[in-house]
Amino acid sequence: MKPLKESISITIDGNILSKIKELAEMFDRSVSQYINMVLKEHLNNRRINEIYSFPSKEKLLPPNDF
């Protein structure tokens, strides 16, 4: 059985949305599917970092400018 999906509304910078749309198209996904995929990957990475007590990437890398 597929997990239940919920609909949300967010505000996002235009340049970030443009990049998300571009990447979603490259991966042959809808914007919603792509955002869901990226968020799942991010949460899994954070979980792995917590398990192994690695510092978060945010502390290691400077912020990206889009």
Buried b / exposed e along 44-55 (16+ C-beta atoms within 10 A): eeeeeeeeeeee
Q: Can you give the pLDDT at residue 1?
A: 77
Measured CA to CA, the distance from residue 53 to residue 59 in angstroms comes to: 13
Q: Determine the residue type at 2.
A: K
pTM of the model: 0.70
Residue 18 in tokens: 């443009």
Q: Can you give the pLDDT at residue 50?
A: 74
Q: Can you give the pLDDT at residue 59?
A: 58
Q: pLDDT tens digits, the chain, 66 residues: what are they?
A: 777 889 999 999 999 999 999 999 999 999 999 999 999 999 888 887 777 765 555 555 555 554
